[in-house]
Amino acid sequence: MPPIEDLVNVFDFDAACKQKIPKDAYDYISGGAEDEFTLRRNREAFGRVTFRPNMLVDVSRLDLSVTLFGQRIEMPILIAPTGAHRRAHADGELATARAAGAAKTIMAVSTSSSYPIDQIGKAATGPLWFQLYAGPDADATRDKVERAVGAGCKTVCLTVDAPYFPHRERDIRNRMVRAEIQNEMGANARRRGAPPPRYGLPVRYTAQLTWSILDDLNGYAKVPVLIKGILTPGDAHRAVERGAAGIIVSNHGGRYLDGDPATIEVLPGIIDAAAGKIPVLIDGGFRRGADVLKALAIGAKAVLLGRPPLWGLGAFGQQGVERVLQLLQTELALAMGLAGRPNLASIDRSLVVIDR
């Protein structure tokens, strides 16, 4: 393992994590569904967006801060909800939450966290959001949300792109998924009254969800409810109409429907559909500060990182997550400075051209 000071970008943390943790854990973090087409496309699509920077702007005072649902943070870069952080490091989400606090940003905690939400809430030194997988048992869902809000979570992000458990073939070959499905999901789902699986599909307990879930959540959540997993302008319209407080454009990091587009390529249409009525955030393949700047230019309010913090966590624990966040923050600051955009308000669509 190289010393942490020798790692100069997020890709170096990927390589270090791969060296450090067991192969099945690394594959679980880094893999995608089926052919991993969408996983690759999330990265490749940034190559079709280029900058049109402005010169001779005073960029001597850079400001990356942004306020999201009442929380002011020091960069428009958040930690996306990802499950099972203990697979990367024994300190799991407790370390990730402390690192987010140290970097003065927000961590979204997954429903499938390794540590209970109350414990993560106690460890956290900054704001937390809660990601929700809503099952067929409405009481159990309400209970999860109330516990998370009680633990201090400032928003609920309802994930809507995962009605069934996908074929992540690296995990299937590593025999990781079979145990996971049988133990955690299948049993849970059946207990909660999900119908039995058909066509050889494993049960996924959000398969019953429709837009009415937003009415339920808005009725009791007491915090803003965002929808995570939107990929079309039509669904963005519906999210606004049905009372979502925000949208997270996401294809789940290429982990569910293989063949989904890259998130950055659908972002313009979704920004237009949301028409400034609610904030639009995005995740999927963000590995460079310049990637983040492209999304901000198209109109995203902030970006979330899925795998990079896990690579940092796997390689170096809390310190690794902090370093990954710092690297991205520094790269974004540099890109803004070089593009003649000293703060987020100065970033607009004239900064980019998107090749067709």
Ligand X SMILES: Cc1cc2nc3c(=O)[nH]c(=O)nc-3n(C[C@H](O)[C@H](O)[C@H](O)COP(=O)(O)O)c2cc1C
CB of 202 to ligand X, least distance (A): 16
Among 11-19, 177-185, 217-225, 279-287, which window interacts with ligand X (CB under 6 A)? 279-287
**318 part of the interface to ligand X, by CB under 6 A:** no
Beta-strand runs (E) in 14-127: 49-51, 66-68, 71-73, 77-79, 107-109
Write out the two tokens for 110: 């997954």
Burial class (CB in 10 A: 0-12, 13-18, 19+), 119: middle
**250 part of the interface to ligand X, by CB under 6 A:** yes
CB of 53 to ligand X, least distance (A): 25
**83 part of the interface to ligand X, by CB under 6 A:** yes
Among 61-69, 148-156, 252-260, 268-276, which window interacts with ligand X (CB under 6 A)? 252-260
**174 part of the interface to ligand X, by CB under 6 A:** no
- Taking residues 197 to 236 in sequence order and writing x for each that binds ligand X by CB under 6 A, - otherwise, the string is -------------------------------x--------
CA distance 263 to 347: 19
What is the DSSP code string of 112-132?
T-SS-HHHHHHH-SS-EEEEE
Q: Could you tell me which residues are beta bridge partners of residue 166? A: none
Nearest residue to ligand X, by Cβ distance, number only: 306
Within a 13 Å sphere around the CA of 164, how many CA atoms are in the beta-carbon half?
A: 15
DSSP state of 320: H
Q: Are 91 and 120 in contact (CB under 8 A)?
A: no
Q: Are 226 and 246 in contact (CB under 8 A)?
A: yes
Q: Which amino acid is at 43?
A: R
**79 part of the interface to ligand X, by CB under 6 A:** no
Q: Which of 170, 294, 307, 341 binds ligand X (CB under 6 A)?
A: 307
CB of 356 to ligand X, least distance (A): 24
Among 119-127, 163-171, 191-199, 280-288, which window interacts with ligand X (CB under 6 A)? 280-288
**284 part of the interface to ligand X, by CB under 6 A:** yes
What radius of gyration do the chain's Cα atoms show?
Answer: 19
CA distance 104 to 161: 29
Closest residue by Cα to residue 44 from 283, 284, 230: 284
CB of 252 to ligand X, least distance (A): 5
Nearer to ligand X, 295 or 339 (CB): 295
Q: Which of 177, 181, 305, 335 binds ligand X (CB under 6 A)?
A: 305
Annotation says 252 is catalytic = yes
Among 108-116, 135-143, 292-300, 325-333, which window interacts with ligand X (CB under 6 A)? 108-116
Give me the active site residues, please: 252
Binding site for ligand X (CB under 6 A): 28-29, 42, 80-83, 110-112, 131, 159, 228, 250, 252-253, 255, 283-286, 305-307, 310
